[in-house]
């Protein structure tokens, strides 16, 4: 297996679009330039998988033309044939995307449909179907509202999209996906240091209860917690018309670091953006994929001369909602490939300055449990054979995990060299799961309720070196597992 992360064979890619589980396969569409490695000629590329791990790339699904680029959006199965595009026996898949006009500063929502399971698409003749005469109205995510627990409200389509520059999520309803009625809007609220993009809204049961809460994801750029692109979320109630957050959040400016730290962030790394969830799965299998990139430098990332391409996706992540310190928090469980155990250690006392070193797979998973004992913290240095290194640190005093990729930034664009920080309460034992894939690291902590995703300079054949900071630590458990060819877990 080459990579654990989806990336098209060639060319430019950014946001995931139209994520849909249908006909036993996961469909991943994505912002794609069929003609090159720059962000342009935006179309929807397409790949599918039966396990979220091994992806097969398909021909371009919806292509730009002389009038429009095809910006981000979503797909639904029109099971009741509300559009008339298909039939009840053979329902159409309907994509709702943003038409980015090539003639004027104008964005509006348009439809395309597929009658062959998502491979080929026809643009609807009456596009656009929703036009606010706006320059920055984009990224429609459509869900089916089924009238809540009592079904009293009937059933209809709901669209969440953004007025990006106004930092507003706008909600509309429709019976047929063709004509839309305004419902409500949410925002500005929370982080507002940039444009709001790619919203998603979905229900999740609060773990250990029967209570269902709604999660509203909002990506923004710049103004993310790690600098540049980032995704915040709000938890609240949704009655088919209005999203009401549990906690009212005033807008927080980028300069207000403490204010930003108090918000709910989906990921604390620099390269997890525009994540949205799959349609077509049961609510208890809510699954997200995000773009592993950041608009601050994405367009300048190096390309491989032999197979020029830019952009990849995160691992797919199953989402749940749990209570931490009396507040709901998202928990993310990555869906990884089949793995082969490659190393194991237990109860190793790690003294300074010797530390403990072991080779780790360049593609695979590392699980660590470290008792900090009297130490102030711990340092985990991953160093590849080309000298690139990423240092993950835990500092007990600040209760922060850091990911320092400054030594893995040679040849990368300006602004790439950086240290990311994530709040992580001290427990006697620090437990981490790291997914490494040569050019990326995804760190899952606190049972997946704290996540940090970073692109990194390639780490080939890396070694991991564990050292205590100001004291010895105990490596309670270390296991490494390498990705192997084949199917998902
Ligand atoms: C988010 C985004 C979307 C837009 C798309 C264009 O990364 O800016 O708002 O639809 O990318 O490629």
Q: 298 and 358, same structural domain?
A: no
CA 315/CA 19 separation, integer angstroms: 14
Mutate to test the pocket of ligand 1, among 31, 98, 165 (most ligand atoms within 8 A of CB): 31
- Phi then psi for residue 484, to 5 deg, are -120, 170
Cα–ligand 1 centroid distance for 3 (angstroms):
24
Cα–ligand 1 centroid distance for 234 (angstroms):
21
Q: 410 and 278, same structural domain?
A: no
In a domain, 5, yes or no: no
What are the respective helix, strand and coil percentages of the chain, to the nearest 5?
A: 5, 55, 40
In a domain, 36, yes or no: yes
Nearest Cα residue to atom 2 of ligand 1: 197
The pLDDT of residue 307: 84
Residues with catalytic roles: 15
What Cα–Cα distance (Å) separates residue 334 from each residue in 175, 330, 331, 355, 451? 35, 13, 10, 29, 10
Determine the atom of ligand 1 nearest the C-alpha atom of 291. Answer: 7
Mean pLDDT confidence for 270-293: 98
Q: 416 and 291, same structural domain?
A: no
The pLDDT of residue 428: 86
Q: 293 and 350, same structural domain?
A: no
In a domain, 435, yes or no: yes
Determine the atom of ligand 1 nearest the C-alpha atom of 98. Answer: 10
Determine the atom of ligand 1 nearest the C-alpha atom of 139. Answer: 10
Cα–ligand 1 centroid distance for 197 (angstroms):
7
Q: 366 and 321, same structural domain?
A: no
| Edge-to-edge strand list for the sheet holding 327-334 | 273-277, 287-291, 317-324, 327-334
> Which of 334, 349, 367 represents a domain boundary (last residue)?
334
Q: By residue range, what is the domain housing residue 241?
A: 11-334
Q: 446 and 318, same structural domain?
A: no
Q: 301 and 383, same structural domain?
A: no
In a domain, 52, yes or no: yes
Mutate to test the pocket of ligand 1, among 71, 136, 200 (most ligand atoms within 8 A of CB): 71
When the pLDDT of each residue in the chain is averaged and rounded to a whole number, the result is 95
Question: How many residues can be counted in the chain?
Answer: 489
Cα–ligand 1 centroid distance for 75 (angstroms):
16
Report the chain's terminal Cα–Cα distance, integer Å. 14
The pLDDT of residue 148: 62
Per residue in 169-207, pLDDT (tens digit) is 999 999 999 999 999 999 999 999 999 999 999 999 999
Cβ burial, residue 378 (10 Å; 0-12/13-18/19+): buried
Helical ranges in 18-148 per DSSP H: none
Q: How many domains does the structure of the chain reveal? A: 2
The pLDDT of residue 2: 62
Beta bridge partners of 137: 163
Q: 318 and 237, same structural domain?
A: yes
Mutate to test the pocket of ligand 1, among 45, 139, 218 (most ligand atoms within 8 A of CB): 139
Per residue in 94-109, pLDDT (tens digit) is 999 999 999 999 999 9
Nearest Cα residue to atom 9 of ligand 1: 197
Q: 317 and 211, same structural domain?
A: yes
Determine the atom of ligand 1 nearest the C-alpha atom of 71. Answer: 10
Nearest Cα residue to atom 8 of ligand 1: 197
Q: 219 and 191, same structural domain?
A: yes
Does the pLDDT of residue 274 top 50, yes or no?
Answer: yes
Q: 413 and 351, same structural domain?
A: yes
Do the Cβ atoms of 393 and 402 come closer than 8 Å?
Answer: yes
In a domain, 2, yes or no: no
Determine the atom of ligand 1 nearest the C-alpha atom of 100. Answer: 10
pLDDT category of residue 304 using cuts at 50, 70 and 90: confident
Per residue in 340-394, pLDDT (tens digit) is 999 999 999 999 888 999 999 999 999 999 999 999 999 999 999 888 999 999 9
Cα–ligand 1 centroid distance for 72 (angstroms):
6
Please report, for the domain that includes residue 60, its CATH number.
Answer: 2.115.10.20
Cβ burial, residue 42 (10 Å; 0-12/13-18/19+): buried
In a domain, 6, yes or no: no
> Which of 282, 311, 334 represents a domain boundary (last residue)?
334
Q: Ligand 1: residues within 6 Å at CB? A: 14-15, 31, 42, 71-72, 98, 138-139, 197-198, 274
Q: 92 and 15, same structural domain?
A: yes
Cα–ligand 1 centroid distance for 15 (angstroms):
7
The pLDDT of residue 426: 76
In a domain, 1, yes or no: no
The answer to whether ipTM exceeds 0.95 is yes
Mean pLDDT confidence for 142-169: 87
- Could you write out the DSSP letters of every residue in 121-158? -EE-TT--SEEEEESSEEEEEEEEE--TTTTTT--EEE
Please report, for the domain that includes residue 409, its CATH number.
Answer: 2.60.120.560
In a domain, 166, yes or no: yes
The pLDDT of residue 415: 92
Say if pTM beats, i.e. exceeds, 0.90.
yes
> Which of 334, 355, 380 represents a domain boundary (last residue)?
334
């Amino acid at each position: 297996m080459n990579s654990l992360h989806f990336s098209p064979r060639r060319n430019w890619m950014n946001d995931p679009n139209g994520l849909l589980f249908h006909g036993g396969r996961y469909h991943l569409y994505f912002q794609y330039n069929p003609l090159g490695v720059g962000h342009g000629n935006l179309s929807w590329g397409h790949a599918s998988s039966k396990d979220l791990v091994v992806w097969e790339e398909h021909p371009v699904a919806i292509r730009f033309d002389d009038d429009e680029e095809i910006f981000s959006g979503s797909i639904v199965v029109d099971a009741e044939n509300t559009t008339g595009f298909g039939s009840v026996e053979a329902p159409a898949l309907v994509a709702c995307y943003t038409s980015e006009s090539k003639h004027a500063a104008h964005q509006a929502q348009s439809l395309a449909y597929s009658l062959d399971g998502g491979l080929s698409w026809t643009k609807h003749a009456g596009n656009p179907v929703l036009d606010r005469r706006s320059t920055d109205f984009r990224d429609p995510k459509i869900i089916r509202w089924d009238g809540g627990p009592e079904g009293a409200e009937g059933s209809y389509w709901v669209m969440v999209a953004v007025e990006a520059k106004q930092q507003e999520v706008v909600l509309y309803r429709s019976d047929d996906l063709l004509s839309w009625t305004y419902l409500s809007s949410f925002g500005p609220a929370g982080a507002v240091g940039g444009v709001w993009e790619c919203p998603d809204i979905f229900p999740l049961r609060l773990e250990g209860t029967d209570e269902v809460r709604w999660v509203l994801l909002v990506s923004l750029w710049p103004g993310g917690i790690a600098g540049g692109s980032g995704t915040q979320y709000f938890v609240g109630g949704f009655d088919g018309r209005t999203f009401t957050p549990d906690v009212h959040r005033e807008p927080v400016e980028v300069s207000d670091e403490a204010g930003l730290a108090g918000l709910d962030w989906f990921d604390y790394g620099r390269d997890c953006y525009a994540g949205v969830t799959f349609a077509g799965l049961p609510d208890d299998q809510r699954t997200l994929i995000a773009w592993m990139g950041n608009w601050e430098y994405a367009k300048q990332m190096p390309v491989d001369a032999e197979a020029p391409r830019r952009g990849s996706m995160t691992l797919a992540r199953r989402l749940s909602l749990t209570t931490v310190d009396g507040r709901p928090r998202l928990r993310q469980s990555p869906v990884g490939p089949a793995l082969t155990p490659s190393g194991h250690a237990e109860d190793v006392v790690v003294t300074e300055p010797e530390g403990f070193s072991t080779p780790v797979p360049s593609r695979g998973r590392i699980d660590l449990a470290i008792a900090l004992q009297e130490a102030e913290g711990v340092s985990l240095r991953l160093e590849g054979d080309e000298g690139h290194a990423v240092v993950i640190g835990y500092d007990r005093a600040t209760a922060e995990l850091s990911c320092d990729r400054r030594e893995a930034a040679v040849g990368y664009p300006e602004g790439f060299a950086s240290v990311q920080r994530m709040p992580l309460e001290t427990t006697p034992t620090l437990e981490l799961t790291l997914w490494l894939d040569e050019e990326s690291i995804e760190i899952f902590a606190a049972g997946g309720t704290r996540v940090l995703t970073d692109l990194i300079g390639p780490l080939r054949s890396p070694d991991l070196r564990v050292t205590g900071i100001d004291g010895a630590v105990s490596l309670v458990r270390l296991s490494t597992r390498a990705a192997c060819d084949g199917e998902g877990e």
